[in-house]
Structure 1
Amino acid sequence: MGAVTPLGNDVKTFWQQAVSGASGAGLITRFNAEQFRTQIACEVKGFAPEKYLDRNEIKRSDLFTQFALFAAAEAMEDAGLDVSTMDPFDIGVIWGAAQGGMQTFETEVTNYVEGGYVPRFSPFFVPRLITNMASGLISLKYGLQGINYTTVSACATANTAIMDAFNYIRMGKAKAFITGGSEAPITPASIGGFSAMKAMSTRNDDPTHASRPFDKGRDGFVMAEGAGALLLEEYEHAKKRGAHIYAEIVGASMTADAYHMTAPHPEGLGASKAMELALQEAQLNPAEVDYINPHATSTPIGDIAELNAVGKVFRDTGNLSISGTKSMTGHLLGAAAAVEAILAIKAITDGVVPPTINMTDRDEAIPQSFRIVAGEALERKVDVSMSNAFGFGGHNATVVFKRV
């Protein structure tokens, strides 16, 4: 696994910060956001791409691709996979990004307009901009010649990528994939667009308490950036080479709400079906799930809709722990599910459920039977964890992990 997040730029630091209940939020520093309703975000701090990227890789790639290459490099290092011993066509890359090179697009178009419409675009404009370049450059860096593409399903994107990699391995189309997602959306256009939709929190005077899933006073999500990478590998292949296996992915599913452009179905019909199908594929009963890392972005409608969906699937929630980790990381859009998959897996390996912070006034619409892990991390055995991701357009994606 590999991570670049507002809580740390490696998996170890990210996990430690998440378990401690740290917040990655603060005032936006990437540009002057004073003119926007929302002036806060969860930015990546101290990012030093040169640890894994050479000068040309940095120069020729947008920040979302740099995040992807960095996280993928940590994942490859962690996996100890010697590509030279394998058929390169047996290893692929399925990556996710919802926006792609937004920073590149804004910079180039702004320069064009401010330059009096003189057509002096950078020759790297298109390669830096296009969303599939992250998967392409990961492939190029390691000589991986297997299946290679990028998925886009809004904020469900990274789970879609993980699910696709899972399925292609099961179909015998590959032995391994680098998968996950990256996003670099803290730009004027992206912040401005979501501000205009009134989708984000406006707690500008108190950034660290702005993202508050399940709290009665929640007022929107907090934008974030970063990347998460997983190396998915066929079990017998991993076992034969003596790989350290964190967990097994046992089920995954996608559905659509077919309800509204941006709002989830209030009863969570599509979301509940995604969870049901993922469990069905995993051959697990709802009672066997110990932990759910929910989508839980901290929006007034979305959080309750998701819990409505959970209630439909998990009739008895006595054993189920739920924690909204976007309270700490913010919302990484297309990369969100990738970093949350890491947390769901670490909950299994370390026996700790990270907390939901900032839930000081629990929404009374949440049934008391729901065990929201709030304030502090919970030590408990986790054999099965579920990670949910839902996106604009009605996309629902659920992935289930299990102890090996």
Structure 2
Amino acid sequence: MNSEGENGRMRTQARPVDRRSEILRHACALFARQGYGGTTVRQIAEAAQLLSGSLYHHFPSKEAMLLDILEEYFAETVVRNRTALDGAEDAVAALRGLIRASLTVIAHNPDAAVVVVGECRRLALSDERFRWLAERTAQNNTVWHTVIAEGVRTGLLRSDLETETIGYFVQTSVWAMAQWYRTHGRYDPDEASGLLVELFVRGIAEPHAYRRGDLRGILRDAAPVQWPAGASAALGNAAGRPARSADGADPRARIGQAAGLLFARQGYAVTTTRQIAELAGVPVGSLAHHIGSKERLLGDMLAGFFEELLAAFGRDEAVGRGPSLRMAGLVARTVEGLAEHGVASVLLLNEATADDVPKAEISRLLGDVEGVWTRVLADGMRDGDFRAGLDAAFVQRVARTALSTSSVAYPGMEVRHLTALYQEVLLGGIGARPE
């Protein structure tokens, strides 16, 4: 349909369906950048160059926009998973297909992928209107652990696997790559899925290059656990150890724990200093004395995490062990650091773009962490302890992403079991030799 503009020339009006898609695109970008809770209808309308009232002609609420985004994402995932499994000759080929399908969905709509990764758990646990997300996620998880179970049954995968847990581990590790994987990088979904099969499946395949522990013993009690409904009851860390009592803990430590939990449950943008103070059990007026501001607290938490991690890496390196033990140490120190810094560690890393966070400092520290991982991988390849031809930069990023999922995926697992799980799978994936 055409209409005449102010200058007398004819212009084409966007069809309603196109306008609706355009609004969803802007909403999705805002949700990905600043969180669902931190985005207003007015911001979406401004991004779409509409008045707020006009936006309601297309969507009754912000919630309706999010529902459309999530439903479309899960629908595409189901279709691509089915296609991936059709005709797969064995469980390893099926796993490769599922990984490729996930990366393709991420590449097709990276903003929606970030929203799904960042918002699903939060919304499913805190908002009755989004409880269906837990069911959708569980259905997707079932596909993965069914494939793992078939691999165990046919002898392609290790017989000591707890299939539900390992399926969840691989699937969440791949989905968490939504925060950084883009097809304009080095690898397209087909190439990347091949590398991920090498990294993850080699660690659980028969015959395997590396084996130290019995995964059955590690994983027996490792079914994924949901966070408690009550935030105050969950004030603890990722390893399931309770925080110290309000009377015995340092106020700043309690503030950090409370902030981490709130950032994880509802997002950084919508968390207020009053909420942090109430959960930490400190007067609101004294919060500024302890942390300065919410933005400064986030920056300090990120910097503290990286600094402690680098210090632990340095102590291990000074012992002078070989590449396999050094890699095992990187895994252990990272899991321990995530546990020590609370359930929100991985989510905090994704908040590093907040305007008032000291980006230069955080980027430098993150670069130092990446450098340690890359050097250990390169040393292992040079000495023949790891498979030749590994892309160290890609492997270390995937490995750290996989480790980060542990801070929210398995809050019921003990640190030593998480460490053993990741050491067994990742060291096997890079072809390490036991020392």
Do both share a fold (TM > 0.5)?
A: no
Normalising by structure 1, we get a TM-score of 0.30
Give the helix-richer structure, 1 or 2: 2
